[in-house]
Structure 1
Amino acid sequence: MTTPHSVPVSCDVLVVGAGPAGSACAQMLARAGFDVVLCDRHDFPRDKVCGDALIPDAHRALARLGVLDEVKAQAAGASHVGCFGPRGGRVDVPATLAVLPRRALDDIVRRAALAAGARWLAPAHFDAPLFDAGQRVAGARLRLGGGGVHELQARWTVLATGADSVALIAADMCLRRLPTGVALRGYVRNDAMATRIGRLEVVWHRALRTGYGWIFPCGDGVFNIGVGITHRDGQAGGSSAARDPSLREVFAAFLRVHGPARELMEGGTRLGELKGAPLRCSLEGARWSRAGLLVAGEAAGSTYLFTGEGIGKALETGMRAAEAIEAGADDDEAVRTGYEAALTALKPRFAHYEQANRINDHPWLADLLIWRARHSQRILGRLSGVLEETHNPATLVSAIGLLGLFLPFG
C-alpha cells in the first residue's frame, strides 16, 4: 500500500489497472525510461474472476515480459484440452497450456513492472480524467484508500480497468455499457480427482445455452470450474454478472450433464463462493483512444468471443499501447494513430473467433467437429491450430469448412 506522503503528484504515464494489460504496459514503458505510475483500486495480490488458462499467445507474451519461467514454476502445465460434445464424444486437442489463478499471475506481472521502475499506488480508484486547457486528458482524479481525492498529472493515461464499464463511462470512452458475455467460476479441492483430470476440459451442451462449461486443473488437487455465456447483450449488466440467477442455473445444468463436473463438486471441498464477472469481447464496446488517453486490455474488448480467452490478448494490447507511446513520444496524433493501427491489425483475428462462436450457439457443430477430429489427424491439427493461433477458427464453421469435414478421413 502507498503511504500518503509517498503519493505521486505527476508522472509521464499513469496506468490505471494492474491486471495483465496494465502491468505489461507499465513494465515496457518503465523499461524504456518513462516515469510510470501503476495504480489499481485493489492492493495486491487480489482475486480475479477468470478461467485462469494460459494458451500459447499468453505464453509468448509472458516470455517477452521476462516472466514466463516464474509463471511456469507456479502454474499447472497441461498438454491437451479435452473437448466434449453434447452427445458425449470427446477428443483431446494438443497445445502448450498452463493454469495459474489470476491472484498469482497478475501479481507476478505487476511485480515485474515495479522491478522495471514503475511506481505503485493502491488502493486508488479512477474517478475521472483531468483535462488541460485544450481538453486533452492530462491525468486522473483518483479516490485513495483513505477516502481522499488525489489529482495525478500525467502526459499519458492508459485505462486498463477490465470489463466493468464504470471507468470507461467516466472517461467518456464507453460505446456499449452491457457486456458481450458473462462467466461464473469457483475453486474446488478434490484430491481424488487429481489423477483423473490432468488436462483442461471444455464442454458444449444444449443445456448450457449459448456457452460452455470448463474444468481446469490448478495443481495440488485444486480445480477451476465454471461456465461462460456469450451474446448476453441486453440481458445482464456488468455489475450484476455475479448475481445473475440464470448463470447459476447454467452452472447447475453443467453439473447435471457432465459427470466429472458433478463428481468434482459433490466429492470436493469448495474454496470460497462461486463468483461471476462480465466479459468484453471482439475489440468492441469502447473507443480505443482520445487525446492523452489510451484504452487497453478487456476495457478495450480484448477477449475472444468463441473461447472466452483474454489473458494473452490483454497482455498484447498493453504492450501495443506502450509501443505506441514510446514511438510517438510527445506527438499525440502519432501515438493515437500508431495504437489504433495496431488494434485495427488485430481486429480480423477477433472477427474470426466471433464467427467461430457459432459453435457456442449451435452445440451440434461441436459434436460434428469432435467426431471428425477423432478420426482425422488433419481436423485434429486444425483444432490444435486454433489454440496455437496458426489456424483460422472461422473456417471450422464456414460452409466450405463444414463441407471439408466430410472429405475422406486423413
Structure 2
Amino acid sequence: MNADHDLLIVGGGPAGLATALHAARAGLDTVVAEPRQAPVDKACGEGLMPGAVRALGALGLEVPGRPITGIRYVQDTRRVQAAFRHGPGLGVRRTHLHSILHQAVSEAGVPVLPLRVGEVRQDATGVTAPGTGLRARWLVAADGLHSPVRRSLGLEVRNRAVPRYGLRRHYAVPPWSAYVEVHWAAHGEAYVTPLGPELVGIALLTSQRAPFATQLQRFPELAARLPAETAVSPVRGAGPLRQQTRTRRHGRVLFVGDAAGYIDALTGEGIYLALTGAQALVGNVRRGTPGRYETDWNRATRRHRVLTELLVRARQEPALAPRIVPTAERMPRLFAAAVNALA
C-alpha cells in the first residue's frame, strides 16, 4: 500500500508542531493528528531557557514574553544565582507558545486534524493509523509523557525510581525578580517564573502526593507572597515525570519530545530538547538516514540528560539533598557554569 504522506505526526504539542514546521520547510508532505483544540495547556514551568529562545528564532518565530536573566536557588536564608551569559530566557504562558506554533504550522500549509491515534501498524513501506484513514512513510510519535504510541509498541521501560510529579498554578502578583527562582524544601522544589507585569507561574515538583495548597505551605517565604485570593488559574498536574523508552526509532516510527524519554523537569529543558529533537529527526528523514536519528538525538541531548540525572540523583539522596544549595552557594562559579551549560 502506498503512503499518502511523508510524515504523520501524532501529537500537536510543541514537539509535534516544531517537527511539522521543520518538515514543511524541508519539503516533506506532512499531516498532524491532534484531537485537542488549540491552544493546548498543560502543567509546565513556562520558562524558556536561552537555548529554546534561539531555537524558536531559528524557526523564524518571535515569541513575546517576560525576559528571564538567570536562575536563582533559594533554601531558607541561602541564596545563589547565576546570570545567563548568552542572551535571556523568556517566561511565556504555555497557551501563548502553543498558539504561535499552531499558527505557524497552519501558515506553512500543514493540516492539523482533530484525530486521536493510539495504535499504529507498519510494514515495509509505511505506517497506518487504524480508524483515521491516515498513512505515511514515517510516523512521528510526539504524543507526550505517557505516549500511547510508545505503550502500544511495547517500548516502555519499567522505572523503579521514586516517582516525581509536577503541579502548576498562576498568581496575579507582580514578579519580584527577573530570575527564575527555585525554592528548595525537604521533598520538593517550587519554581517561580515571571510571566507578565502582574503574573507569576508557580510550578511544584515533588515526590509526595498532596494538594497544591498543602505543598505550597512547605515553602513559607514563598507562600507569604502568594495569598490564596491572588490565584488566577486552576491547578494542573503531570507525572510521574520520569519516562523511559527502549529506543527513539522503532521501524518506521520515530519518537520526539517527551515521548522520546524524559528524566525530570528539574532543569527546565523540556521545550529546548523537544525543539532540538525535532530538528534532528526531520534532518535525518530528509537525508534518508533515519537510522542515524538515535545517535543524533543522544548527541544533542547528552549534556542536558547527564546534568539532569546527576541533580535528580543528588536530590533523592537524603544525605546529599540538603547540601545542593549550600554547595552551590560556596561554589558560585561552578553553579554558573552548570546553569550556562544547560542554558
Q: Same fold (TM over 0.5)?
A: yes
Distance of aligned partners of 1:390 and 1:187 in 2 relative to their CA distance in 1, 3 Å threshold: closer
Partner of residue 233 from structure 2, selected from 258, 261, 272? 272
What is the root-mean-square deviation of aligned Cα atoms in Å?
A: 2.6
TM-score w.r.t. length of structure 2: 0.87
Q: Give the aligned partner of residue 181 of structure 1.
A: 164
| The structure with more helix, counted as a fraction of residues | 1
Change over 3 Å in CA distance of 1:182–1:174 after alignment to 2: same
Aligned to 1:367: 325
Structure 2 Cα separation of the partners of residues 200 and 37 of structure 1: 36
Indicate conservation of the 8 Å contact 1:176/1:285, yes or no.
Answer: no
Q: In the alignment, residue 247 of structure 2 is paired with which amino acid?
A: R
Q: Which residue of 1 aligns with 2:209?
A: 247
Q: What does residue 93 of structure 1 align with?
A: 82
Shift of 1:314: 1.1
After TM superposition, give the deviation of residue 188 of structure 1 in Å.
1.6
| Structure 1 gap ranges (5+) | 1-8, 142-148, 231-245, 329-333, 373-378, 392-410
Q: Map of 1:74-223 to 2, 5 A cutoff?
A: 74-85=64-75, 87-95=76-84, 96-122=88-114, 124-132=115-123, 134=124, 137-141=126-130, 149-176=131-158, 181-190=164-173, 194=174, 196-206=176-186, 209=187, 211-223=188-200
* Residue 162 of structure 1, CA deviation: 0.8
Find the aligned partners of 1:195 and 1:184 in 2 and give their Cα distance.
19
Between the two proteins, what is the percent identity of the paired residues?
26
Check whether the contact 2:9–2:32 (CA below 8 A) recurs between aligned residues.
yes
Task: Give matches, 1:284-299, under 5 Å.
Answer: 284-299=244-259
Q: Which residue of 1 aligns with 2:281?
A: 321
User: Helix, strand or coil: the match of 2:239?
Assistant: strand
SS in 1 for 2:17: helix
- SS of residue matched to 2:269: coil
Mapped contact 2:118–2:148 kept (Cα < 8 A): no
Task: Describe the superposition over 1:182-234 as per-residue Cα deviations: whole angstroms up to 9, x where unpaired.
Answer: 201111212xxx1534432101121xx1x31111121031111121136xxxx
The equivalent position to 2:336 in structure 1, one of 374, 384, 399, is 384
1:28 aligned to 22, 26, 30, which one?
A: 22
Residues 21 and 297 in structure 1, CA contact (< 8 A), matched pair in contact too = yes
Q: Which moved more, 1:171-180 or 1:318-327?
A: 171-180
CA contact (8 A) 2:166 2:241 kept: no
Counterpart of 1:354 in structure 2 is 309
Unaligned segments of structure 2, at least 5 residues:
none
Size of the alignment, in residue pairs? 333
**Structure 1 segment 29-48 matched on structure 2, within 5 A:** 29-48=23-42
Contact residue 131 and residue 139 of structure 1 kept, 8 A: yes
Q: How far 1:60 sits from its partner (Å)?
A: 2.1
1:38-61 Cα offsets, whole Å, 9 max, x none, are 221212112121000101221221
SS in 2 for 1:323: helix
Question: Does the C-alpha gap of structure 1 residues 173 and 137 become closer, same or farther in structure 2, counting only changes over 3 Å?
Answer: farther
Question: How far off its partner does 1:385 sit?
Answer: 2.8
Q: Distance in 1 between matches of 2:192 and 2:337?
A: 21
In the alignment, does 2:27 pair up with 1:13?
Answer: no
Deviations 1:239-287 (A, max 9, x none): xxxxxxx433576243343313332133x42223211012555x83342
SS of residue paired to 1:355: helix
Q: 1:253 to 1:82 in 2, by over 3 A?
A: same
CA distance in structure 1 between the aligned counterparts of 2:160 and 2:11, rounded to whole angstroms: 20
2:298 corresponds to which residue? 344
Please state whether the residue corresponding to 1:46 is helix, strand or coil. Answer: coil
Measured against aligned partners, the alpha-carbon deviations of 1:98-129 in whole angstroms (never above 9, x if no partner) come to 1111111122123222323322212x111311
